[in-house]
Amino acid sequence: MFGLKTDWSLEVPDRYFTLENYEGGVARWCPACGDHAVLSAVQRICRDEQIPPEKVMAVSGIGCSSRFPHYMHAYGFHGLHGRALPVAEGIRSRRPDLHIWVATGDGDCCSIGAGHWIHAVRYNMNMTVMLFDNNVYGLTKKQTSPTTPVGFSTNTHPRGAWLPPLNPLQATLGFTNVSFVARTVDWNPLHLYQTLLAAHHHKGLSFVHILQRCPTYTDHVFDAVRDNPDALQLLIHENGITADPPVAKMYKNQLEHDPSDLAGARKLAESLDPLAIGLLYRNLDAAHYDEYTAQGMEMTAEERLEGMNKALDRFAI
């Protein structure tokens, strides 16, 4: 029966998984799109962690990055506009054994999905949320998104985006019960990999803001931080994300930041120059709603039926 532990506790013989075991359909993103790098990082993490493909779940909403589940050889759910997070929460509540990767864009998460974003962070269910931020609606061909820079010309604002852009990290760090917040960039595969790996290891909802290049519609928006490594500030700390030597060598502008310091993390999130990359915040003590939804998961079908009948008997007339 769907949702019972016996469904996923079958004995499976030991296997070794290669990258090919996680490769789904041929990615149809534009050449040089940053989404390719994120897909590759997630596939490498799955391979390096030897997660059986049938234990991997990719969930998305709508947008270019939301094509992610199609390109993973794993379970996938390509949801509706802004709805990746409630779908992922539903899956988490019945399948605690799955490793959930949520792909969502700046339009998908920060606009139509904003209500879900707030509550998913508060629910803190175990999943890795990747915000692919390319500063534009790419799939629908260049409309202003919540993170489009002021003055940037789009189809909806040909004379330039009018409002100040929303800061996804500042917002996330303001939500109740936030437990993991990090930022990385698609053009540094090592840092991207290490950040997503740390997010994957975190128990709870890990939110990773990824600066993602869209050479088709927002070419050059990240040039200043991509071409000048000093414009990025690498966060380091013994409790943070380990920076591999090539990453530490590249980003000389470094800051010792204790990820348990929420006020410090909020200050870092506010700063656009330099732009902090690495782990801004981690709280291992935040409450997990999946512990609540997991109650009764070990019950047999008979025990569930008995419990349900008892509950219904209360309404007998």
Minimum distance of ligand SF4 from residue 110's CB (angstroms): 15
Determine the interface stretch with ligand SF4 among 3-11, 110-118, 211-219, 290-298 (rule: CB under 6 A).
Answer: 211-219
Which residues have CB under 8 Å from 68's CB, separation 6+? 35, 38, 39, 58, 60, 76, 101, 103
**29 lines the binding site for ligand SF4 (CB under 6 A):** yes
The pair of structure tokens assigned to 151 is 């003055």
* Whether the Cβ atoms of residue 44 and residue 194 lie closer than 8 Å to each other: no
**214 lines the binding site for ligand SF4 (CB under 6 A):** yes
Minimum distance of ligand SF4 from residue 141's CB (angstroms): 8
CA of residue 67 relative to chain centroid, distance: 14
* Whether the Cβ atoms of residue 61 and residue 83 lie closer than 8 Å to each other: yes
Residues 58-97 binding ligand SF4 (CB under 6 A) are: 64
**33 lines the binding site for ligand SF4 (CB under 6 A):** yes
Determine which residue in the list 138, 165, 168, 204 makes contact with ligand SF4, applying CB under 6 A: 138
Determine the interface stretch with ligand SF4 among 25-33, 48-56, 95-103, 273-281 (rule: CB under 6 A).
Answer: 25-33
Residues binding ligand SF4: number (CB under 6 A): 11
Determine which residue in the list 22, 35, 83, 251 makes contact with ligand SF4, applying CB under 6 A: 35
* Whether the Cβ atoms of residue 225 and residue 47 lie closer than 8 Å to each other: no
Determine the interface stretch with ligand SF4 among 112-120, 194-202, 212-220, 223-231 (rule: CB under 6 A).
Answer: 212-220
Of 29 and 77, nearer to ligand SF4 (C-beta) is: 29
Of 157 and 266, nearer to ligand SF4 (C-beta) is: 157
**232 lines the binding site for ligand SF4 (CB under 6 A):** no
**115 lines the binding site for ligand SF4 (CB under 6 A):** no
Helix axes 35-48, 189-201, angle to 10 degrees: 50
**217 lines the binding site for ligand SF4 (CB under 6 A):** yes
Determine the interface stretch with ligand SF4 among 7-15, 92-100, 148-156, 213-221 (rule: CB under 6 A).
Answer: 213-221
Q: Which residues of 154-176 are buried (b: 16+ CB within 10 A; e: fewer)?
A: beebeeebeeebebbbbbbbebe
* Whether the Cβ atoms of residue 163 and residue 152 lie closer than 8 Å to each other: no
Count Cβ atoms within 10 A of the Cβ of residue 239 and give its class: 0-12 exposed, 13-18 middle, 19 or more buried. exposed
Minimum distance of ligand SF4 from residue 137's CB (angstroms): 9
Determine which residue in the list 215, 227, 300, 307 makes contact with ligand SF4, applying CB under 6 A: 215
CA distance 37 to 43: 10
- Count other Cβ atoms within 10 Å, centred on residue 53: 17
CA distance 268 to 209: 14
3-state secondary structure of 201: helix
The 261-280 contact track toward ligand SF4, x by CB under 6 A, reads --------------------
Minimum distance of ligand SF4 from residue 264's CB (angstroms): 32
Residues constituting the chain: 317
**25 lines the binding site for ligand SF4 (CB under 6 A):** no
**30 lines the binding site for ligand SF4 (CB under 6 A):** yes
Minimum distance of ligand SF4 from residue 64's CB (angstroms): 3
Nearest to 102 by CA among 115, 114, 91, 93: 91
Residues in contact with ligand SF4 by CB under 6 A are: 29-30, 33, 35, 64, 134, 138, 214-217
